[in-house]
Structure 1
Amino acid sequence: MKFVLRFPLLKGNNNRSKQTMSSKVTILAFSTLAIFILATISCSLLNYHSLWKINEYQKVSIEFDDGMNETESMPPTPPVKKCDIFRGEWVPNPEAPYYTNTTCWEIHEHQNCMKFGRPDSEFMKWRWKPNDCELPIFNPFQFLEIMRGKSMAFVGDSIGRNHMQSMICLLSRAEWPVDVSYTDDYSFKRWKYSNYNFTMATFWSPYLVRAEDVDANGDLINVYLDEFNEKWTSQINEFDYVIINGGQWFLRPMMFYEKHKIVGCQYCALENVTHSTWHNGFKKAFRTAYKAIISLGKSKGVTILRTYAPSHFENGVWDKGGNCIRTKPFKSNEARLEGYNFELYNIQLEEFNRAKKQAIKKGLKFILLDTTQAMLLRPDGHPDKYGHRPQDNVSLANDCVHWCLPGPIDSWSDFLLEMLKIEGIRSAGSFINKIVN
């Protein structure tokens, strides 16, 4: 990838020598600014032989031309190649995995598939290939350089936490983080990468809004659809990037509240309570979560929706013998997003697009991390019976919801880094155009 920035001579006094000197000064000023911006975004100042070499994936060079016609104007920012990185196929990647269950301490027992005897390993050796371009494998050094001095929060359920654990393992090739949590509760962890002043945190909020157990067993949940969950909304303004997710928990028994009154119930069969499905609750929960973020109005913050990741139970539901024993990905023509998976995904997109329009008016940035199609094609990546929680003697259902580590979920960091690079290039181009024009 090569960006060519050409700066014209400025119109001005008819005196040619003055104009030439003015042009050189202007070119020098713009040159310095352009170099600083592109170098920062491309993370090319750390441990590289060439100033403009980012890594093996791309190179950036800058050329200046003071021989342009005086009346010419600066050309528009070179467009970022259009490619839907979220549509494609899984292809073999013999170089994977990039960490193991013995080199990363952040793999929890119920995701440690190899530790508990999974006989196959091919599920770890695939990468996502978009239809119209390449998706580079996650580079931990580049990611940390982009995140230097910044912070990122994962808000949602255990799949979001699964994502953060995967990222910690991938980043371990560059640096291990220090635990800077405010609590011993693993649902609210904070990790700091000291050499980069980068903080990463997780906030447990499976419904995104305020919710509480009705009974000690958690068999029924009160979900307050119009109330912020202050466990994360009170702290989220500290973070530069917020990745939110949700889905699986809305398929459970729930009591829905609005304005402190019961408005419906799912799977509870209570007298004098209107039966309600998860659809409306799911929609309103996301709407309230976005409202919380927009109302805080952090101008430099970026909100990222990581879309729903389908489960893959076959031969029964999760508590009735369902399993996920496949050992290879589907091809894109072998699986279709349908049923409740499609409904969850579609509602997420509708509410995201609705919130994005509101956010733009306030100068906020919303980005879509669309993992749904890619993960629909990975029935082979779940723990199934090879994920054990600490209570090994307890009979547990097969896990076809979470993801083995290492495994397919590592690709989410590939997506995320590519998105950050693209957004950085766009932001730099926009900034330069504003200054020049």
Structure 2
Amino acid sequence: MADTKRLPLADGFPVLSELGFILRAPRRTGLFAYGFMFALVALTVFLLFSPSSDSSSPLLSGMVTSSSTADTYRSQLSSFFSFFPNSSPSTATASASPPLPPSPNLSSPPSSYLSPRSENVSQPLVAKNHTPPPDLPSFPGRNHTIATTQPQAPNQTRNSSDPSTPSPPAKNDTVKAVQSVPADNGILSNYTASLLKKHSNNNKTINTNSTVTVPVTGSTQEKVKDRAESLKKCDFFDGQWVKDDSYPLYKPGSCSLIDEQFNCVLNGRPDTDYHKLRWKPKDCDLPRLNGSDMLEMLGGKRLVFVGDSLNRNMWESLVCILRSSAKDQNNVYEVNGRQQFRGEASYSFIFRDYNCTVEFFVSPFLVREWEVPDKDGLKKETLRLDLVGQSCDQYKGADIIVFNTGHWWTHDKTSKGKDYYQEGSHVYGELNVLEAFRKALTTWARWVDANINPVKSLVFFRGYSETHFSGGQWNSGGQCDHEMQPIRNDTYLRQYPPKMVVLERVMKGMRTPVTYLNITRMTDYRKDGHPSIYRKRTPTAAERRSPLMFQDCSHWCLPGVPDAWNEILYAELLVKLNQKGQQGQPQQEKRPQ
């Protein structure tokens, strides 16, 4: 019971009781007690109010600002014990230990994303030098654009879009216009990123995974967008040919990849005016085809031409333009080492420095040529209107596909249509060529709708290229060697081909968007652009005897008219790939090495 007098009371009077006890003690004991009390008070004041590097004492800071993380708790303890000279090294090291794993609670940011310091400054959500998990996209900072649309993880917030939490870029900070992914997943560069890269001050290159690293600025983006929008409103095919001394796009005779059939200069053609014409639409100026820009546009992609020898004409034109602009022409080669491009089913040029290919697949009808036994047991050629060409599976995953057909439908077998067209096991005794053409294009259209992914691939159809035979046809002495100037008067142009009317109707019924390159009218002007008699360096004996009887007034000299087709293709890609860059980049298959 005697101890109950010393128990603490709610009103605080036991303190006075203790002082009375001290006064009644011997004098030496009283002096010791006063000294002890003074030292205790001094130590308490020192701990509470001594300054620190954070402008507040650790204990007082702990009273005012609380923290729920174990790191903050440990840092406060280490600060507290650091005032005592006998604190153990293991205790002091606790403040440098790594943070605890983030909380599994997804409703709040992981603790590892938060700043460990308790400062009154807004911090970005993602800590400096923080690397996101590999399965999450890496988002650029504000005022930057990415070319792909990446899904955002649940409950994940992109802090960089919040103006209240600025995150200035580090030195040499750039944004990847296309996310780095394995090549077989196929996120690839687009024209917007390529053009921005060209105008940037940084020397960046396309790597083997087709990732373009560019600094993106708002002003350059606006220029690209405005240019694409102006071209989007332009009818590329309503225009005229104008003289331009800065043409052609490559020096005549300089491209060893041009087939002899199209290499008019090396075959002895003396005039050069046909090289100096460019196509000028009424509503805009086509951008000059810059090979370097287009190679970057095509970085990591497959551009495929499918069709007849007129598409081979266009393909060779583009290969020459691009090769002349390549960084190292030794890294441009046909995949099988071929130097001539007639007689095989397909050809593919690899631009190794850009990880892209420009390919050509021979399919003059777009449907399959066939053979059936006739009544004598011999094989008879037919055309299967219900089957697409055999090579279709090889290019259905390409990024850009340019189809054509037309000229082979004017040959005797197809134009007459007797015992030639076949569906299933049935061979038509006679079928109108326009109806056969419609059936064939319908088969092609159904295949495109069933096999081409419009999110991934761009599909073009190049229209009919006019011929200019005079006095006969290609196999009956038709000529054009005397033509040195294009047609200037529209009254001399021909009517729009009925087959192209059929084509337009078929395309209107398709689900897959197909861009129609309607080059018929622009080619009709150019009666001066054909090889005519300049189609061979070493004519045969019959050709030497009657040189004017063997002329090519269907194909085009290179450099020449197909270069303009490729400039239109270039402009179309500028517009369409810019749109895809805004909507989300198409996927791409793995490139050949």
Match of 2:559 in 1: 406
Q: Does 1:204 align with 2:204?
A: no
Match of 1:327 in 2: 484
Match of 2:425 in 1: 260
Higher relative contact order (CA 8 A, sep 6+): 1
CA distance in 1: counterparts of 2:381 and 2:299, whole angstroms: 39
CA contact (8 A) 1:127 1:411 kept: yes
Q: 2:534 aligns with which of 379, 386, 389?
A: 386
Give 1:138-149 correspondences, 5 Å limit: 138-149=289-300
Match of 2:130 in 1: none
CA distance in 1: counterparts of 2:551 and 2:313, whole angstroms: 17
Match of 1:317 in 2: 473
The alpha-carbon deviation at position 26 of structure 1 amounts to 9.0
Q: 1:278 aligns with which of 427, 433, 440?
A: 433
CA distance in 2: counterparts of 1:404 and 1:90, whole angstroms: 16
SS state at 2:497 partner: helix
The alpha-carbon deviation at position 417 of structure 1 amounts to 0.6
The alpha-carbon deviation at position 140 of structure 1 amounts to 0.4
Q: Does 1:354 align with 2:509?
A: yes
CA distance in 2: counterparts of 1:34 and 1:331, whole angstroms: 50
CA contact (8 A) 1:209 1:288 kept: yes
CA contact (8 A) 1:89 1:332 kept: no
CA contact (8 A) 2:253 2:265 kept: no
- CA distance 1:382–1:351, shift in 2 (3 Å): same
- CA distance 1:135–1:91, shift in 2 (3 Å): same
Match of 2:238 in 1: 87
What do residues 266-303 of structure 1 show as CA deviations (whole Å, max 9, x unaligned)?
xxxxxxx23x2311111121221222222114340111
- CA distance 1:51–1:85, shift in 2 (3 Å): farther
Comparing 169-178 with 253-262, greater Cα deviation is found at 169-178
CA distance in 2: counterparts of 1:50 and 1:332, whole angstroms: 48
- CA distance 1:221–1:51, shift in 2 (3 Å): farther
Q: Which amino acid aligns with 2:368?
A: R
CA contact (8 A) 2:319 2:349 kept: no
Question: More strand per residue: 1 or 2?
Answer: 1
Match of 2:464 in 1: 308
The alpha-carbon deviation at position 257 of structure 1 amounts to 0.5
SS state at 1:23 partner: coil
SS state at 2:509 partner: helix
Q: Which amino acid aligns with 1:224?
A: R
CA distance in 1: counterparts of 2:474 and 2:236, whole angstroms: 31
Long gaps (5+) in structure 2: 1-142, 146-158, 179-188, 204-215, 374-378, 415-419, 544-548, 586-593
- CA distance 1:385–1:200, shift in 2 (3 Å): same
CA distance in 1: counterparts of 2:243 and 2:279, whole angstroms: 9
SS state at 1:344 partner: helix
CA distance in 2: counterparts of 1:146 and 1:205, whole angstroms: 26
CA contact (8 A) 2:319 2:358 kept: no
CA distance in 2: counterparts of 1:62 and 1:399, whole angstroms: 51
CA contact (8 A) 1:233 1:292 kept: no
Match of 2:124 in 1: none
Q: Does 1:165 align with 2:321?
A: no
Match of 1:222 in 2: 382
CA contact (8 A) 2:239 2:279 kept: yes
CA distance in 1: counterparts of 2:252 and 2:344, whole angstroms: 20
CA contact (8 A) 1:128 1:411 kept: yes
The alpha-carbon deviation at position 147 of structure 1 amounts to 0.5
CA contact (8 A) 1:152 1:239 kept: yes
Match of 1:287 in 2: 442
What do residues 358-391 of structure 1 show as CA deviations (whole Å, max 9, x unaligned)?
22xxxxx422222111111111100111112766
Long gaps (5+) in structure 1: 8-18, 53-59, 65-76, 264-272, 360-364, 433-437
Q: Which amino acid aligns with 2:526?
A: R
CA contact (8 A) 2:350 2:358 kept: yes
Q: Which amino acid aligns with 1:100?
A: K
CA distance in 1: counterparts of 2:405 and 2:190, whole angstroms: 36
SS state at 1:317 partner: coil
- CA distance 1:172–1:39, shift in 2 (3 Å): closer
CA contact (8 A) 1:90 1:126 kept: yes
- CA distance 1:20–1:402, shift in 2 (3 Å): closer
The alpha-carbon deviation at position 429 of structure 1 amounts to 3.7
CA contact (8 A) 1:330 1:377 kept: yes
Aligned Cα RMSD in Å? 3.4
Give the fraction of aligned pairs with identical amino acids, expressed as a percent: 27
CA contact (8 A) 1:88 1:332 kept: no
The alpha-carbon deviation at position 326 of structure 1 amounts to 1.3
Q: How many residues align?
A: 373
CA distance in 2: counterparts of 1:352 and 1:182, whole angstroms: 37
The alpha-carbon deviation at position 237 of structure 1 amounts to 2.3
Match of 2:575 in 1: 422
Comparing 279-288 with 40-49, greater Cα deviation is found at 40-49
CA distance in 2: counterparts of 1:408 and 1:200, whole angstroms: 19
Give 1:45-194 correspondences, 5 Å limit: 46=197, 48=199, 50=201, 62=218, 80-81=229-230, 82-175=233-326, 176=329, 177-181=332-336, 186-194=344-352
CA distance in 1: counterparts of 2:364 and 2:195, whole angstroms: 38
CA distance in 2: counterparts of 1:246 and 1:27, whole angstroms: 55
Q: Which amino acid aligns with 1:227?
A: L
CA distance in 2: counterparts of 1:419 and 1:86, whole angstroms: 12
